[in-house]
Amino acid sequence: MDEWIDYYDSTHTIYASKLHRDLHFQIIARDIIGHISSPDAVVLDYACGEALSASRVAEACGKLYLAEPAPGVRGRLIARFAPNTKIRVRSLDDLRKMDEKSIDLVVMNSVAQYMTPDELDTAFAIIRRLLKPSGRLVLGDILRPEVGMAKDVAALLKFAGTHGFLKDALWGLASTALSDYRQLRTKIGLQRYGEDEMIGKLSAAGFSASRAHTNIGHNPWRMTFVARHAF
Ligand SMILES: C[S@@+](CC[C@H](N)C(=O)[O-])C[C@H]1O[C@@H](n2cnc3c(N)ncnc32)[C@H](O)[C@@H]1O
């Protein structure tokens, strides 16, 4: 759904403040590092966004590919990480041209909800081709059908309260309620999957998957799955 890519390429207000944005990317980086099994690992962050803490992830692995569809975001990634020889920035189209069986870990966090089910299947096929036989796909921040927007708000306020940006979060929620995000969320919605449904979808794409104990990021109401090649 290109509208969401355009949204993430715009000057959006998804983060309530600089502190919120910085903490978000620090926590995502910490959680991605938790899934890296070797310091030599080749890691791909699929639709990585601004990836402000990617240098930390790169320190914990051999090579980090940052793939991002939004051209403006990608331009900033190229500029930000040009001095880091462990980091390479790619478009999603570039991924089709990369060597098969070359990646140890693919992370796709907080992305599937913005894709149609068919787009997600296409992404799974591209990722499966790239993964080494021993490689893993970590699919994070999957929304469940039975958990509504109120839980997203509760999770954000708890995160903000713990980290001292509650006032900014409340202002942020008020402006988000009036923003393009709210309009898009109401107009095209976010894709949601039950636990068994996502395991089935991954299985149909050639993966054997299970749900991880904890979600990537701050929202415990959403789910993370770890998938490997099913042989
Ligand atoms: C919420 S951000 C997540 C960024 C990062 N992975 C993180 O965890 O912070 C959503 C990302 O999905 C990308 N995106 C939105 N719609 C997409 C689509 N239909 N296909 C692929 N990526 C998409 C956006 O460009 C953006 O980078």
Tens-digit pLDDT profile for residues 6-42: 999 998 878 889 999 999 999 999 999 999 999 999 9
- Domain ranges (residues) in the chain: 2-229
Cα 66 to Cα 36, 81, 213, 230, distances in angstroms: 15, 10, 25, 25
Ligand 1 pocket, Cβ-based, cut-off 6 angstroms: 1, 4-5, 8, 28, 47-49, 68-70, 109-111, 114-115, 119
Question: Tens digits of per-residue pLDDT, 56-67?
Answer: 999 999 999 999
CA of 2, closest atom in ligand 1: 19
3-state secondary structure of 169: helix
pLDDT-derived band at 186 (thresholds 50, 70, 90) equals confident
- CATH of span 2-229: 3.40.50.150
Helices 166-177 and 180-187 pack at an angle, to 10 degrees, of 60
Taking the centre of ligand 1 as the mean of its atom positions, its distance from the CA of residue 126, in whole angstroms, is: 16
pLDDT of residue 187: 82
Inform me whether the pLDDT recorded for 43 exceeds 80. yes
Helices (H) and strands (E) in the chain, counts: 10, 7
Taking the centre of ligand 1 as the mean of its atom positions, its distance from the CA of residue 47, in whole angstroms, is: 5
